[in-house]
Chain A
Amino acid sequence: MSSEVRFTDFKSDKQPTWCPGCGDFGTMNGMMKALAETGNDPDNTFVVAGIGCSGKIGTYMHSYAIHGVHGRALPVGAGVKMANPDLEVMVAGGDGDGYSIGAGHFVHAVRRNVDMSYVVMDNRIYGLTKGQASPTSREDFETSTTPEGPKQPPVNPMALALASGATFIAQSFSSDALRHQEIVQKAIEHDGFGFVNTFSPCVTFNDVDTYDYFRDNLVDLGDEEDHDPADYDAAKDKILDASKEYQGVIYQNPDSVPYGQKHGLDTNMSEIPDGAPENATDLVREFY
């Protein structure tokens, strides 16, 4: 079936309720195209969505999917992949989901390096609750709950990922459709945890990190002939360079061995016998 799959097969019949112009439209389109391009179809794909505007993505896509508890999408995705390695698992969420309430899981999902992809729709604002600071909001970004700005520096997601032992770190921009799709595709193809921080502007509540801002300021690593994603030090320098924001695959460990391979997980755990498994009586004998 996969050869005939079109990206629209991943579209559900539900119309998105995102605000007109929301970055999430482009982010989702790129994800669907990347899934189709990498030979997946809705019946072998499992999408896990977090909570927030971004979390609605599970409803608008057509695949096996679960929309879970705020901040816990990554453990759910890891559980799915471990139990059935044949599935293509993609986790999507927002900056609040991934870097605030779910920050603890982010660190450990990165360390665990399960073979799945994680797209964070980063708009640097809490949109669904109508405009409060997010963990990636700028220090002086004024919102209803931070009238003078959060007065604390934003989380640097890529630095957090790098410090946690990431094997794939990328950044994309929802409006740069081709590049975004290409980067998500590389995350899917990566043997391990493919992390993509996608700038997905909120047109309603964020007038600072806008389409124009990213268009004017993003530096595409594809333009820098000399950036080798396998070069850890070069990646580190770019990630820690506060003067610029990059688009592209910043770091990829070519020797990445995913969790499932390290642990010999190669069976679909949904298949079990009709009774106690063969040799189960050996377990009782151990207690003699």
Chain B
Amino acid sequence: MPADFNWAIGGEAGDGIDSTGKIFAQALSRAGRHVFTSKDFASRIRGGYTAYKVRTSVDQVQSVVDRLDVLIALTQRTIDENLDELHEGSVIIYDGERTQMQDVEIPDGMVGLSVPLKRLAEDAGGAIMANVVALGAACEVGSFPIENLDSALEKRFKSKGQQLVENNMEAARAGQDYVKEEYDHDFDDYDLETTDEDYVLLNGDEAIGMGAIAAGCRYYAGYPITPATDVMQYLTGRIENWGGHVVQAEDELSAINLALGAARAGARSMTATSGPGIDLMTETFGLVATSETPLVIADVMRSGPSTGMPTKQEQGDLNMALYGGHGEIPRFVLAPTTVSECFWKTVEAFNLAEKYQTPVFLLADLAMAVTEQTFSPEAFDMDAVEIDRGFVVDENDIGEHQTEKGQFKPHELTEDGVSPRAFPGTDGGAHMSTGLEHDEMGRRTEDTDMRIEQVDKRNRKVETATEREDWSPREFGDPDSDTLVLSWGSNEGALVEAVRFLEEDGIDVRFLSVPYIFPRPDLSEEINDADDVIVVECNQTGQFADVLEHDALRRVKRVNKYNGVRFKADELADDIKETLAAEAEA
């Protein structure tokens, strides 16, 4: 029996799939098991097909796989959609008393457990708890102590009263008892053992929001958009506790300009959006960079172009983040590779933004943003958070950065390119800032020499940062292997597991996961030393592969996925094998 257990609940949007799945994931996490979740969802409020999937193990799990052991199916379509993942012996829990499920077809070799979910829920206090009855049934199938579910139910329903919590506990037990009595282990037993480990369970958007608060972000302006909305929802009601504020703007044009205004006033400030919002915000990128305003802009990527597939995975905005906007815009582009890295890269983004007074893009993606994943709480050690506000001057030292006439120089020409920053309200610091080319005082100029001085100064900040900061990739697998796999963003987890699968098959691979797109590590040596180089990413053209080829002056192999679904570990292992085999044949 595999060490991991793969479970899902699926039905129509509006069936409570998401919250039921989250309760189960929470129960597993609280029982000291690692959890990695994924969602199949559509851009609609009701109907269609939606599913919440959980992979769990006592060891860390970082990816989804092509296997489903237990499926709670509220609709026939849920079974049809998952036929590829279901296997011999898979258990399907459904309510055979529901009219539309009476003729349900359980595929050959699989076990159908018909449980009267609705009836048992009504007996326990309300049909609305039918999904919880199913969770109880799933606990029995997985030999998972139901007390762990109680704890998650309590967390979910405590605010609505103890009675409701108890009703739900009863509903879960009704499901458990029904399976025990009616089916008495007519299926493969699983053993979801518990441990004493403490884990936290959160998704990438929440990690970005928590990272922002930890980093001292006080201002967030945004416009709701899937899959970035959770960042805004997370911050709302929390950031206020530290004197911060969230504004829902009228559009993304406004959002980035509100955030820019707060940053000019000295606040650590950010906005988050997805591709269509980045299109609008691009208008302001140049102003942020030219006025040397520290700003963090998160792009939680989804499938494009245009409205594309709003609830599907893609890493298609890399070129946009690198090159978006007219003229030449100095910027930093960070791409967190895991949910916990969403937290740390957000903290780093705020420090880089202020140290170099530059826009910083945080390129996250849908797969990571909506994935709930377990971590040890130490992965978010607040004592390890460092704040560096860069070159800020106050009343006492401002005199050193003024002209003879007492005019402050916010764009002073310095060796490292970084100029002094005076927060508004600082005596003697009044200055103009502008999207126009300007002199050291921020006053418009078309002087040819000053133009060159200022352009060079702004770009010098990037050179300085490249030298001063650590832009290393994250390294996995066999460092001496002749096969080099490179990737960016959320593919890391699936690749780490794929590398392990390949090892089991006797194939050694070196894997570098790159969280810095610009500036990025110089990997030309690694790329040129390897026999085979494979770049993995969720887009069609291979945008990251392009920049790496440009850096290393060498052609690389590409593994691309752009059907809207994230990479799975087992699938990736096969992709890499095939790519290597094709290369060997050639």
Contact = CB atoms under 8 A, between A and B. Distances in A.
A256 interface: no
A267 interface: yes
B254 A72 contact: yes
Contacts of A217: none
Given A84-B424, A276-B382, A76 B429 contact: no
Contacts of B238: 283
A72 B257 contact: yes
A212 B385 CA distance: 64
B133 interface: no
Contact of A79 (B30, B243, B264, B386): B264
B287 A69 contact: yes
B267 A269 contact: yes
Nearest to A87: B424
A280 B213 contact: yes
Central interface residue in A66, A72, A84, by most chain B CB within 10 Å: A66
B-side binding surface: helix, strand, loop or mixed? mixed
B214 A64 contact: no
Interface string A252-287: 000000000001110111101111110111011101
Interface in B187-204: 198-202
A268 B266 contact: yes
Interface in B264-284: 264-269, 283-284
A75 interface: yes
Interface in B22-70: 29-30
B206 A287 contact: yes
Interface stretch (B6-14, B88-96, B245-253): B245-253
Nearest to B29: A288
A42 B426 CA distance: 10
Contacts of B267: 83-84, 269-270
Interface stretch (B313-321, B433-441, B535-543, B561-569): B433-441
Given A87-B424, A269-B266, A82 B213 contact: no
Interface string B377-392: 1001011011101000
Interface in A76-124: 76-84, 86-87, 104-105, 107-108
B202 to A, nearest CB: 5
Given A59-B434, A66-B434, A79 B261 contact: yes
B261 A80 contact: yes
A63 B198 contact: no
A14 interface: yes
Place the interface of chain A in its size category. 35 or more
A64 B443 contact: no
A126 B456 CA distance: 34
B260 interface: yes
B210 A273 contact: no
Interface string A24-64: 00000000000000000011111010000000001100111
Contacts of A270: 265-267, 423
Interface in A119-138: none
Contacts of A43: 424-430
Interface string B208-232: 0010011110110100000000000
B431 interface: yes
Interface in B395-452: 405, 407, 423-436, 443-444
A204 interface: no
B242 interface: yes
B385 A272 contact: no
B259 interface: yes
B254 A75 contact: yes
Contact of A59 (B258, B265, B423, B443): B443
Contact of A69 (B200, B202, B257): B257
A107 B287 CA distance: 23
B261 A75 contact: yes
B259 A272 contact: no
B349 to A, nearest CB: 15
Contacts of A268: 266, 425
A270 B263 CA distance: 8
Nearest to B436: A67
Contacts of A81: 261, 265
A1 interface: yes
Nearest to A49: B434
A68 interface: yes
Contacts of B513: none
B78 interface: no
Central interface residue in B206, B240, B261, B269, by most chain A CB within 10 Å: B261
Central interface residue in A45, A269, A272, A284, by most chain B CB within 10 Å: A269
B131 interface: no
Given A269-B243, A276-B214, A68 B287 contact: yes
B219 A68 contact: no
Contacts of A276: 214-216, 382-383, 385, 387
A78 B426 contact: no
Nearest to B386: A275
Contacts of A8: none
Given A83-B266, A281-B382, A288-B198, A273 B430 contact: no
A12 interface: yes
Nearest to A266: B243
A32 to B, nearest CB: 13
A276 B434 CA distance: 32
A13 interface: yes
B334 interface: no
Nearest to B217: A272
A170 interface: no
A279 B202 CA distance: 19
Nearest to B410: A64
A287 B202 contact: yes
B216 A284 contact: no
Contacts of B176: none
Interface of B: 29-30, 198-202, 206, 210, 213-216, 218-219, 221, 238, 240-245, 247, 249-251, 253-255, 257-269, 283-284, 287, 291, 377, 380, 382-383, 385-387, 389, 405, 407, 423-436, 443-444
7 contacts: A43-B428, A75-B221, A275-B383, A279-B241, A283-B238, A284-B200, A288-B200
Given A12-B432, A44-B424, A68-B260, 15 more contacts: A46-B424, A59-B443, A67-B432, A80-B264, A82-B258, A84-B425, A107-B250, A269-B219, A269-B265, A275-B386, A276-B385, A277-B242, A280-B214, A288-B29, A288-B200
Top-6 shortest CB links A-B: A79-B261, A270-B266, A272-B216, A269-B267, A287-B200, A75-B257
